[in-house]
């Protein structure tokens, strides 16, 4: 196997095509798919040396696999991280990244606007293990400061948030969290690795659901945890090997090929999302349009500072509540109703009755998730077709 990354630092689009490639002796053009559980050794001595760590090489695909490692290496180049571990889903990444660094008696602070399963991991799974938690309004820095305790080990946030696209000041939260020696973990799914680099903003660990933009074509689940080599060696390395949230080589191969087109896709989807946000805001028929790239977004100044562009998602509120939101969604023809995002296909979600239905009504109200709120993930279709689809749906409300 040979690594063909070369010596010069590559720009992101180039790194996503070539980075991390390990060619086998056949010299294949496309990355090879190593569908193997294990590896064989020439001699018993070679097996002993590999287990002792005296010789490099793969041991077992729960630990690592050549195809999975290519995906991790390419993600490390994109994120500017020293090391990474790929996981079977985004939630496996969140659960592993949090659980590997806490014990009973520790405390976690998290922004309250979270993907529902993330909240379950923190409150219920880690709560059962004796880890305490506090949820704060992520945009209010005083709430972060007030929530910190001597036993606070980890802070967790996502930005922009799901589904209302609030933007949290990652650098400011990192500074607050580090003042008590805790670590900041950022779920960067909504921002994408193209538009936001949490590690350079001061975060210690970044996680992705690779299911979203990184695959980007609706095929397989996956996740990844990225950090410094020290953090991974000290916290994640053994936890990962022994609990086995590993990504399958087949899915790693799919995601690796997804990375080749990620910069192009995210740019195109962001351009469409921005066009859609402006179009909806200008239509006069929408009560509220939420898009971090627009100047009327409440957190626009922070978004400009820490993100390279808006987002591939737009949220908007129809004044007729659930009835209007349902009629609007049902009238769409090109845009599909789905709870997923980051796909080549444009997808629309009614959070109050799907992704966020388990929240108490008062919590939903606190998070700004009204009955008329819709979340749109812009795909790769011609934006004119999307605008026409939205116009026709508006006429039906």
Ligand X SMILES: *Cc1c(COP(=O)(O)O)cnc(C)c1O
* Site residues (vs ligand X, CB under 6 A): 89-91, 94, 115, 118, 158, 162, 187, 189-190, 209, 211-212, 221, 223
Count of Cβ atoms closer than 10 Å to residue 30 Cβ: 10
In this complex, which beta carbon is closest to ligand X, that of residue 49 or of residue 337?
Answer: 337
Query: 99 Cβ partners below 8 Å, 6+ apart?
Result: 121, 125, 126, 129, 239
DSSP 36-79: -SB---SSHHHHHHHHHTSS----BTTT--HHHHHHHHHHHHHH
CB of 92 to ligand X, least distance (A): 7
Two structure tokens written together for 362: 């008062």
Residue with smaller CB distance to ligand X, 194 or 324: 194
Taking the complex as a whole, how short is the minimal distance between the CB of residue 188 and ligand X, in angstroms?
8
| R_g (Cα) of the chain, nearest Å | 22
Q: Name the minimum Å distance from CB 47 to ligand X.
A: 35
Provide long-range contacts, Cβ within 8 A and 24+ apart, for 251-254.
251/88, 251/220, 251/221, 251/222, 252/65, 252/67, 252/68, 252/70, 252/71, 252/86, 252/222, 253/31, 253/33, 253/67, 253/71, 254/215, 254/219, 254/220, 254/222
- In the bound state with ligand X, the residue whose beta carbon lies nearer, of 89 and 134, is 89
For residue 334, the minimal CB distance to ligand X (Å) is 22
Q: How far apart are CA 223 and CA 231, in angstroms?
A: 18
d(C-alpha 272, C-alpha 213), whole Å: 15
Tokens 């980051």 belong to: 342
Q: What element of type H or E holds 116? A: helix 116-120
Nearest distance, CB of residue 122 and ligand X, angstroms = 12
Given the complex with ligand X, which of 162 and 329 has the nearer CB atom?
Answer: 162
- Cα-flanking dihedrals φ and ψ of residue 185, to 5°? -110, 130
Minimum gap (Å) between residue 211 Cβ and ligand X: 3
Nearer to ligand X, 5 or 117 (CB): 117
For ligand X, which is the closer residue by CB, 15 or 309? 309
Q: Which residue's CB comes closest to ligand X?
A: 90
Nearer to ligand X, 209 or 329 (CB): 209
Contact 80, 197 (CB under 8 A): yes
Strand stretches in the chain, DSSP E: 2-3, 22-23, 83-87, 107-111, 132-136, 152-158, 183-187, 205-209, 223-227, 288-290, 313-317, 336-337, 347-349, 373-377
**In the complex, least distance from residue 89 CB atom to ligand X, rounded to whole angstroms:** 3
Contact (CB, 8 A) for 134 and 269? no
Q: How far is Cα 2 from Cα 312, in angstroms, rounded to an integer?
A: 36
Biggest distance spanned by C-alpha atoms of the chain: 74
With a CB cutoff of 8 Å and minimum separation 6, the contacts of 123 are 133
Cβ proximity to ligand X: between 113 and 289 the closer is: 113
Least Å from the CB of residue 387 to ligand X = 25
Nearer residue to ligand X within complex by CB, 91 or 286: 91
Give the nearest distance from C-beta 169 to ligand X in angstroms. Answer: 18
Nearer to ligand X, 67 or 312 (CB): 312
Least Cβ distance, residue 142 to ligand X (angstroms): 25
């Amino acid at each position: 196997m040979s690594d063909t990354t070369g010596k010069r630092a590559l720009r992101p689009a180039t790194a996503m095509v070539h980075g991390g490639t390990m060619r086998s002796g056949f010299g294949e053009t496309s990355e090879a798919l190593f569908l193997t559980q294990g590896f064989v050794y020439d001699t018993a001595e070679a097996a002993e040396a590999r287990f002792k760590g005296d010789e490099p090489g793969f041991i077992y695909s729960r630990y690592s696999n050549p195809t999975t490692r290519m995906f991790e290496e390419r993600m490390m180049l994109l994120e500017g991280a020293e090391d990474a571990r790929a996981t079977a889903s985004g939630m496996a990444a969140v659960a592993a990244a949090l659980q590997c660094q806490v014990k009973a008696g520790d405390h976690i602070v998290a922004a309250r606007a979270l993907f529902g399963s993330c909240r379950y991991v923190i409150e219920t799974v880690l709560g059962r293990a004796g880890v305490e938690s506090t949820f704060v309004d992520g945009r209010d820095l005083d709430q972060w400061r007030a929530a910190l305790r001597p036993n606070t080990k980890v802070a967790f946030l996502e930005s922009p948030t799901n589904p209302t696209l609030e933007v949290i000041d990652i650098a400011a939260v990192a500074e607050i969290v580090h003042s008590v020696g805790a670590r900041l973990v950022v779920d960067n799914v909504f921002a994408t690795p193209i538009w936001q680099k949490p590690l350079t903003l001061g975060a210690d660990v970044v996680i992705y659901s690779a299911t979203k933009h990184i695959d980007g074509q609706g095929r397989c689940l996956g996740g990844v945890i990225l950090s410094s080599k020290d953090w991974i060696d000290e916290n994640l390395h053994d936890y990962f090997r022994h609990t086995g949230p590993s990504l399958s080589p087949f899915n790693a191969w799919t995601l690796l090929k997804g990375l080749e087109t990620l910069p192009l896709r995210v740019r195109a989807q962001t351009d469409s999302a921005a066009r859609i946000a402006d179009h909806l805001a200008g239509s006069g028929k929408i009560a509220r349009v939420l898009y971090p790239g627009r100047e009327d977004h409440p957190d626009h100044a922070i978004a400009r500072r820490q993100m390279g562009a808006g987002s591939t998602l737009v949220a908007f509120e129809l004044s007729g509540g659930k009835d209007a939101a349902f009629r609007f969604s049902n009238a769409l023809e090109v845009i599909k109703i789905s709870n997923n995002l980051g796909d080549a296909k444009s997808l629309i979600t009614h959070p109050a009755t799907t992704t966020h239905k388990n929240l108490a009504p008062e919590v939903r109200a606190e998070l700004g998730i009204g009955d008329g709120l819709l979340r749109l993930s812009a795909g790769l279709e011609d934006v004119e077709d999307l605008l026409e689809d939205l116009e026709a749906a508006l006429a039906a409300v």
